[in-house]
Amino acid sequence: MLPAFFLLAVACSACYALDNGVALTPPMGWSTWNTLACDYDEGDLREIADIMVKTGLTKLGYVYFNIDDCWEDGRDANGRLRYNATQFPSGMHGWGQHLHSLGMKFGIYTSSGQYTCSGFEGSWGHEFEDAQTFADWEVDFMKLDCCNTSVEMKNVSYPKWSKALNATGRPIVYSCDTDELIGIFPWTNEERPWDWAPPVCNMWRTWKDIKPYWWSWTMNLAFNIETWDLLDLSTIAKPGAFNDPDMLEVGVGEMTYEESKSHFSLWAMMAAPLILGNDLRHMTTETLDIITNAEVIAIDQDPLGRQGRRVLQGIDSDIYAKPLVGGAIAVALWNKVDYPVDITLNWSDLGFAPAKTMALRDLWAHRDLGPHTQSYTAKAVAPTGVVVLKLSPVPGQPPLHHLLLST
């Protein structure tokens, strides 16, 4: 019998995904909402875009620069969306061209209802017109929100937007956010994006808006792992179609370094979109250290596109595993409590025989740990901290998960 971890890792090969050729790995970038909300203009955004280039964030893959709500200014006499010209003196097309000149991509926001969440002009009834407007502005990413709407309206607008974006002929990442419709209790949960979104959207929200607190991001993590009715969401995600636990809160609020490192690491294990939300103009060296860890980013961006699974759940710690291209495995050992704990990964947690030899690398310490058999124990993992390992076959042995799938 094959280990359940690997059976589920390949089960989503039967899932459907939106066939628009984009987001084959989880999108990475930055968004206005978490820090700036409605308080921004083009000058602010130019500063932040320049910092993304100067700090090397764009070279690491953070290329989508997403304007969230509050840019809209009604419609013109022909029914086309207008932008706030005072806020964006270069115009939206001009702003997009500036981003493209920096090697970045242009993201924008609208709502499926008549009004956005902040009360500006929405797109209900204008889906094809607005999709063409965005294409004319050379938009590369569009987030569709669901304020001022209903489940019934959502059932019409979200598939319609998918067709409208594809009809423009421009490749645009389609991010579907229906969190306002997701019930906080099982008996109120009429909205299940994981059921309908994979053939419609490139990414879809799995829980409510994230906040810069431990309790908030861990709740979003929990509902990105499994639903109220215990559906394992790792079976849904695949290249071009990803579960979205919401934007990153690293560098926002007062989370500790260890909490932020865990937050970032577990988003990577989830194959989640890595959309920064901090004000890069006031970024600490610790925050920059976290969001520029190329080895952890590589786990998120692995071409296999598989979401990791929780393979062991304990009172004080959890273990997550994610299959990688070429037969390696990423493992996160997460301390959930406010005191140090030892966390042991047994090969049996991954379905391997104890005698199996694997080469380990610590992706936060950036050092090889050598070959191991049977188990590995991370000693005194920091309170609320994480250890992220990459397990690889030793020379001369077949790929780890491919070996199991062939037995």
What is the SS3 string spanning the chain? CCCHHHHHHHHHHHCCCCCCCCCCCCCEEEECHHHHCCCCCHHHHHHHHHHHHHCCHHHHCCCEEECCCCCEEEECCCCCEEECCCCCCCHHHHHHHHHHHCCCEEEEEEECCCECCCCCECCCCCHHHHHHHHHHCCCCEEEEECCCCCHHHHHHHHHHHHHHHHHCCCCCEEEECCHHHCCCCHHHCCCCHHHHCCCCCCEEECCCCCCCCHHHHHHHHHHHHECCCCCEHHHCCECCEEEECCCCCCCCCCCCHHHHHHHHHHHHHCCCCEEECCCHHHCCHHHHHHHCCHHHHHHHCCCCCCCCEEEEECCCEEEEEEECHHHCEEEEEEECCCCCEEEEEEHHHHCCCCCCEEEEEECCCCEEEEEEECEEEEEEECCCCEEEEEEEECCCCCCHHHHHHCC
Q: Residue 333 in contact with residue 381, Cβ under 8 Å?
A: yes
| The total number of residues written for the chain in this structure | 407
Question: Is 145 labeled as catalytic in the residue annotation?
Answer: yes
Pick from 276, 251, 271: which is nearest to 261 by CA? 251
Backbone angles phi, psi at 387, to 5 degrees: -120, 125
Which residue in the list 41, 73, 209, 232 is annotated as catalytic?
209
Question: Is 140 labeled as catalytic in the residue annotation?
Answer: no
Residue type, 140: D
Which residue in the list 68, 145, 177, 300 is annotated as catalytic?
145
Give the catalytic positions in this structure.
Answer: 145, 209
